[in-house]
Chains A and B, each alone.
Chain A
Amino acid sequence: MTLNTSRRGFLKGAAAAGAVLVVGLKPNGALAAGGSTAQINPFVKIGADGRVIAIIKHFEKGQGPATGLSTLIAEEIGVTMDQIDYEFAPSNPELYANLAFGQIQGTGGSTAMANSFMQYRTAGAAARAVILDAAAQATGVDAGTLDIVDGMVTGAGTPMPLGDFVAAATELEAPAEPTLKTPDQWRLIGNPDIRRLDSKIKGDGTAMYAMDVYLPNQMIAMLARPPQQGGLVAGFDDSAAREVKGFIRAATLPNNAAVAVYAENTWAAMQAREALSVEWDLSNAETRDSTQIKAEIMAALDADAEYNVLKNDPAPMDQAAQVIEQTFYFPLLAHAAMEPLNCTIEANEDGGVTLHDGAQMPTGPHMAMAQIFDLPMDKVRINTMLAGGSFGRRATPTADYQVEAALAFVITDRTRPVKLVWSREDDMRGGYYRPAFGHKVRVGLSDTGDIVAWDHRIAGQSIMKGTAFEAFAVHDGVDHSSVEGTADTPYTIPGMHVGLTDTKKATSTLWWRSVGHTHTAHAMEVMMDMAARAAGRDPVEFRLAYLGDSTDAKRKAGVLKLAAEKGNWGNAPAGRTQGIAVHKSFGSFVAEVVEVSGTADTGIQIEKVTCAVDCGIAVNPDVIKAQIEGGVGYGLGHVMRDEITLTGGVVDQYNFPDYEPLRMRDIGAIETHIVASAEPPTGIGEPGTPPAAPALANAIAQTGTIVGVLPMINDGVEFA
């Protein structure tokens, strides 16, 4: 997917996506009668008091788009960050599509800033233009000599609040191509002192997540789901549940996938569900152990590949003086976002329904609701709430939990809103995992220590096949998300062959922070280190030899050198070892140096992680740093000790005690350096994750232990 962020590209992209162009939009009528806030265009509202409201088309799960997109609007209009608020957009793909996704409104693939950068700046500039035109008419001063500074219109005598001109501005048509501010005029974009707009509410308990929706008279619904995926309800006995005070009733969902337990409050729903006895039809349920799934993947690595992705087949291994080989296994992983999945549905007076949801991809549940309730799209409303994390889990091609809620609501008399709540155990056992993958890599080196052949085999379950995203992500049978980061690497690797085999569906799988890069970066970067060591060369110098003249290669080399320099590469303090890795994902380049103490036997302690990132123009530098910190933590925490396993198809893990989250003491310090860039902004929510785990593996390798099977605790590594 390419994302054109040039202005022409934006206009074309917006037109192609069927979006109403911000420019030229005449919003007469958008101003509610008697309302004090005017809708200037789909992305900007301004109150008569001059307060600007940015309409955010991306949901906020912590990655900072609410602040980022507000920054763009505030910058172009000329207000401070104290003078702007934000609201989440309604579900309306005609206006709010993700320009990287075509007709779909949604957040993912680290695209929030990349696809919005020109759109939101243009929207802000269009708003500024009509306000200045209105001010020009009112004052008789030429609009070209007026300016908006900190919310005040200047250039016509005493500065006047911009709110004075909002009513008149709504009657004017914005110019077709509003003039954008140039980088030398930016005061907010790139300013490291800009703070998040959601910090205060998230520190005083007032932030409202979907879990915090309490509608009058609502019921809580929890579902009794089958112990194994694919099971169906054969019957149930709720006599014990009836003894629970607050229990309302139990009913089988129309698709037989679960029994819904309705109660007056969450605790009663939990107790009643516990007391329910359900008979399951497991004839089509998954019964395998994860050891079988692993064995199938590992066997596929040794058989012929199903797809030759890079057709350098076979890799010319016969030219090698020395061959290094390593296999890797990546287990199933849960997302385990902090807020358990939930959403609330209520009936509207107009016969429609409203879904209150931390909606990552509103278009999906929107269409599902319309279908389930047999409603036209405009009778379904989605109220997007803050989300307590996602890491991809809230965007499923099946709109899984929203559909559950809709099915639980559709079989009631719909007089009481239904809030579907998942427990942590439901989340841990509820599927949609990062798929298990295996890699087997053989690298051939010449007698001078240069790579002459690279045979890279990958096997695992496709995320995209069989979903609505198949046409978009699968080409010639190859699910790009299974191989991204290998076949398309910016390294120039001689004699590279990449082969892929799809393994049987084992459980429901899903993207997980950084998708395929979670495993491909690991295999690539651990092999690079092993090859460098075998060649007796420095890992940084060795990698640079394969980073040539392409723009991508230069940017990748840039972050590699910067991380090495800032991380004091090669000069670890006594008792410490270092590992490095670099990877491109979601258009951004990140290199990380992990410094550890201890050994695999005595206990590894991660003392320090030094990161360098090139994500184009750094709109909110401090948010970028936070995302790298979080991405590193997410990558390292899982690779240290987490996996989902199955016994007879049943998930073995139940809650955090056996899917142990990263804790504060696990990482000493994370330091992030941002490369100054004039390139369009690229992803930041995910790119911090891929290099973290291989950099740790490479640091541990320096202590003498090569890790191939993840999590690392399964391959002989102790952590302090």
Chain B
Amino acid sequence: MSLVLKLNGVEHTVDAEPGTPLLWVLRDELQMTGTKFGCGVASCGACTVHVDGFPMRSCITAAEDVAGAEITTIEAIGATKEGAAIQQAWEELDVVQCGYCQSGQIMSAVGLLTENPKPSVGDIHDYMDGNACRCATYQRIRAGIQRASEIMEG
């Protein structure tokens, strides 16, 4: 079926079978490869994108369910204040190792700072709990979120 997806402010018409997860439309149809496949069952967070500003796991989100919504991916998140701060902090602290989980980490972290610009450690743990990092970069992710919060304060 034909769908119109609004991705990073641009409308794309795609052909996808009903029920196809947004993840695979992004990757296979549009070659927007920044959004990653890690588990396919909403337990790792690697596929996180924003739908109308809220983080969602694109591996279990049918593309037709978000047609018409504003979808933002890692490729464009740097255009937001929170996204720019997170990316700056990530580079300052060299958060990444293999990097494969980091698109999802960043999308979730931006979601957190958008809702809560000055999160406590407990807030960070609660919000980021669904984002796994097999390289265990967690303490730098935590520090990166705190640093980004400072950057946003200016």
> What residues make up the interface of A, taking CB atoms closer than 8 Å to B?
60-64, 195-196, 198-209, 211-212, 214, 220, 245-246, 265-268, 270, 336-340, 386-391, 423-424, 622-623, 626, 629-630, 632-634, 637, 655-657, 661-667, 669-670
With A338-B100, A339-B36, A388-B98 already in contact, the answer to whether A667 and B139 are too (CB < 8 A) is: yes
Query: Do residues A203 and B28 form an inter-chain contact, with CB atoms below 8 A?
Result: no
In the complex, which residue of chain A has the Cβ closest to the Cβ of B94? A196
In the complex, which residue of chain A has the Cβ closest to the Cβ of B100? A388
Query: Do residues B99 and A629 form an inter-chain contact, with CB atoms below 8 A?
Result: no
A residues within 8 A CB of B96?
62, 196, 198-199, 202-203
Query: Do residues A205 and B75 form an inter-chain contact, with CB atoms below 8 A?
Result: yes
User: Within the complex, which residue of B29, B73, B91 is in contact with A195, where a contact is CB–CB below 8 Å?
Assistant: B91
Query: Do residues B31 and A214 form an inter-chain contact, with CB atoms below 8 A?
Result: yes
Query: Do residues B41 and A655 form an inter-chain contact, with CB atoms below 8 A?
Result: yes
Query: Do residues B99 and A198 form an inter-chain contact, with CB atoms below 8 A?
Result: yes
Interface string of B91-104 (1 = CB under 8 A from A): 10011111111110
With A199-B90, A266-B27 already in contact, the answer to whether A664 and B128 are too (CB < 8 A) is: yes
7 interchain pairs, CB-CB under 8 A: A203-B102, A204-B75, A206-B75, A267-B17, A338-B100, A629-B137, A634-B136
For residue B7, CB closer than 8 A to chain A, the reply is no
B74 to chain A minimum Cβ distance, whole angstroms, is 4
For residue B12, CB closer than 8 A to chain A, the reply is no
In the complex, which residue of chain A has the Cβ closest to the Cβ of B87? A203
In the complex, which residue of chain A has the Cβ closest to the Cβ of B18? A245
A691 to chain B minimum Cβ distance, whole angstroms, is 15
A residues within 8 A CB of B131?
664
B8 to chain A minimum Cβ distance, whole angstroms, is 11
A residues within 8 A CB of B97?
62-64, 389, 626, 630
A651 to chain B minimum Cβ distance, whole angstroms, is 16
Query: Do residues A202 and B99 form an inter-chain contact, with CB atoms below 8 A?
Result: yes
In the complex, which residue of chain A has the Cβ closest to the Cβ of B73? A205
Query: Do residues B28 and A389 form an inter-chain contact, with CB atoms below 8 A?
Result: no
Query: Do residues B38 and A340 form an inter-chain contact, with CB atoms below 8 A?
Result: yes
> What residues make up the interface of B, taking CB atoms closer than 8 Å to A?
17, 20-21, 24, 27-29, 31-41, 43-44, 46, 73-75, 78, 86-87, 90-91, 94-103, 106, 124-125, 128-129, 131-142
A residues within 8 A CB of B36?
211, 338-339, 388
B residues within 8 A CB of A211?
33, 36-37
In the complex, which residue of chain B has the Cβ closest to the Cβ of A656? B43
Query: Do residues A203 and B132 form an inter-chain contact, with CB atoms below 8 A?
Result: no
A residues within 8 A CB of B94?
195-196, 199, 622-623, 626
A residues within 8 A CB of B100?
209, 337-339, 388-389
B residues within 8 A CB of A266?
24, 27-28, 37
Known: A204-B75, A664-B124. 11 other contacts (CB 8 A): A202-B96, A202-B99, A203-B90, A205-B35, A266-B24, A338-B101, A424-B40, A623-B94, A656-B44, A662-B138, A665-B129
In the complex, which residue of chain A has the Cβ closest to the Cβ of B128? A664
Rounded to whole angstroms, the CA-CA distance of A109 and B30 in the bound complex is: 39
A residues within 8 A CB of B33?
205, 208, 211-212, 214
Rounded to whole angstroms, the CA-CA distance of A220 and B17 in the bound complex is: 16
In the complex, which residue of chain A has the Cβ closest to the Cβ of B104? A338
Query: Do residues B38 and A204 form an inter-chain contact, with CB atoms below 8 A?
Result: no
Query: Do residues B46 and A338 form an inter-chain contact, with CB atoms below 8 A?
Result: yes
B residues within 8 A CB of A206?
34, 75
A residues within 8 A CB of B137?
626, 629-630
Interface centre among B24, B94, B134, B141 (most CB of A within 10 A): B134
B residues within 8 A CB of A423?
40
B residues within 8 A CB of A391?
134
Query: Do residues B101 and A629 form an inter-chain contact, with CB atoms below 8 A?
Result: no
Rounded to whole angstroms, the CA-CA distance of A662 and B72 in the bound complex is: 28
Ranked 4 nearest A-B pairs via Cβ:
A205-B34, A633-B136, A388-B100, A202-B99
Interface centre among A220, A339, A390 (most CB of B within 10 A): A339
Rounded to whole angstroms, the CA-CA distance of A424 and B39 in the bound complex is: 5
Interface centre among A61, A220, A265, A386 (most CB of B within 10 A): A265
